[in-house]
A and B are shown apart, each in its own frame.
Chain A
Amino acid sequence: MTGSFWHRLDLTARRSTPAALTVLLVLINALPLHVPGMARVVPVLPLMAIYHWAVFRPELMPTYVVFLIGVLHDALWGTPLGVSALVFLAIQGAVAAQRRFLAGKTFTIVWLGFVLVAAGAAVLAWILVSLFHFAIVDARAALVQYLMTVGTFPLISGVFLRWQRSLLQTE
């Protein structure tokens, strides 16, 4: 059943919300918070979004969208263009490979999965940035940033889960 034009438009709109929300997170991530020391260790919000949708609804986050969001993130943050794109793609690839394990598991397991995946992402980002500058970049801030990201995950993921239930389940 394909339904009427309006039905399909509604469906498309609903299905594009994960990507739109992730773009919004990229923008929110750049806002000045005026909290001492926060700017260096602010949690990487789109990272959580990419992971979340890759685990729960991979069909709503096509690979090219992940790539484009990564490029936007790089352009805005000032990181070498391509670094975040690569990191986000790596997350999606890693989750896709372990999807059978993650599917239908409790939230704690999904969170633990994120703890591992985000660690890999942080190390990958650090290696890429260091390679780009031909210098060993200070990794302490990256470590704190990783902890912040992992700590904030339940919050963001919780919001997304609700969103998923209310808006995407009615298809």
Chain B
Amino acid sequence: MKNSPRAISRITQPLKNFAQRFAYVGLVVAAFGLMMLGKVDALLVERFRAQVTDAVAPILDALSRPIATVTEFIEQGQELVALREENTRLRGEVVRLLQWQTVARQLDAENQLLRGMLNYVPDPEASYISARVIADTGGAFVHSLILNAGVRDGVRKGQAAVTGEGLVGRIAGVGTRSSRLLLITDLNSRIPVLVEPARTRAILAGDNSDRPRLIHLPQGATVSPGDRVVTSGHGGVFPAGLPIGVVAAVSDSGIAVKPFVERNKIEYVRVIDFGLTGILENPPSARPDTPAGRANGGRARTGWP
């Protein structure tokens, strides 16, 4: 029998097809396996994610710079156009804030006095780590940012990240030089909050929309649109009193909160190093992606010094 190339290919072609199909099915199974692994060992997947993010962080850092420059340029142009109106608005604001300043000074003095009388233990001093946003990721299903600061800069998992306006989110994973910031709007975000002015306790739960919702309110609590929402500090993960947003709407489907921070405007964030580990490192069996979720009970201030 002559081994012509055609005869060989007649034998090898089905084999090759079979091998290809086998590889395809194998990879599909592997993808399912990865999803299962993510469910079973979230920490392992998180570490892998951090390593991948670390590896591409310098590229993202470099690529995101020109975009930031262009954005800045456009913003400057817009500001120039609105300069007069802005000026009038700010003058009014200054007058209003001066009154507030007087009030704040009085309250501060009074507060100092009362603290002295009560031997009040002050909150630990917080230090800040500034980081640049190098990626805005997740599309429709995840709300997270990637920062160009990691373990070497002092960023730890669970720390709160803020901008001048208020709370942005919490560090969900850290690599050596990059970290992932889970926004308060993400499905996995649960933050213990207080609703002013009655200081009603609640949990702010993200649902992948722009407006996170308040859940687990105490019976009979009333919340109305315009109420400010701040972190409560329960669970010892976040410092207390960080502004988050205002109640935007109260309806049958829930209480929607409009965050102060606009996602698209975040260029830099400050990560707060509060010296607390709180509940994040206490129960090792706790689900790592919703640490604050189980913090509303009586176990407040677990990790306080």
Q: Chain A residues near B142 (CB, 8 Å)?
A: 77-79
Whether A21 sits at the interface, judged by CB under 8 Å, is no
Among B35, B68, B187, the residue within 8 A (CB) of A137 is B187
Contact residue among A32, A82, A139, A142 (Cβ-Cβ distance under 8 Å from B134): A32
A80 on interface, CB distance cutoff 8 Å: yes
A70 contacts across to B, CB distance below 8 A: 31
Bound form: Cα–Cα A18–B201 in Å: 53
Q: How many residues of A contact B (CB 8 A)?
A: 53
Of A4-12, A38-46, A113-121, A162-170, which stretch is located at the interface?
A38-46
A86 touches B32 (CB 8 A): yes
* B 50-97 contacts with A by CB, 8 A: 52-53, 56, 59-60, 63-64, 67-68, 71
- Contact B67–A31 (Cβ < 8 Å): yes
Q: Report if B276 contacts A (CB, 8 A).
A: no
Min distance, Cβ B108 to any Cβ of chain A, angstroms = 37
Flag whether B39 is at the interface (Cβ < 8 A).
Answer: yes
For the complex, is B15 an interface residue (Cβ under 8 Å from A)? no
| List of A residues within 8 angstroms of B31 by Cβ | 67, 70, 82-83, 85-86, 89
Residues 29-56 of B contacting A (Cβ, < 8 Å): 30-35, 37-39, 45, 48-49, 52-53, 56
**A86 to B, closest residue via Cβ:** B31
- Complex contact B28–A89 (CB within 8 A): yes
B146 at the interface (CB under 8 A from A): yes
Among listed A49-57, A99-107, A125-133, interface-contacting one: A125-133
B-side interface residues, number (CB < 8 Å): 56
Query: Provided the pairs A67-B30, A82-B34, A138-B208 are in contact, do residues A39 and B23 lie with their beta carbons within 8 angstroms?
Result: no
B139 touches A31 (CB 8 A): no
Interface SS of chain A: helix
Residues in chain A near residue B207, CB distance under 8 A = 138
Contact between chains at B138 and A77 (CB < 8 Å): yes
Distance between B171 CB and nearest chain A CB, rounded to angstroms:
13
Contacting residues, chain A, for B37 (C-beta < 8 A): 81-82
Does any Cβ of B come within 8 Å of A22's Cβ? no
* Contact assessment for A142 and B264 in the assembled complex, using a CB-CB cutoff below 8 Å: no
| Cα-based distance from A80 to B42 in the complex (angstroms) | 10
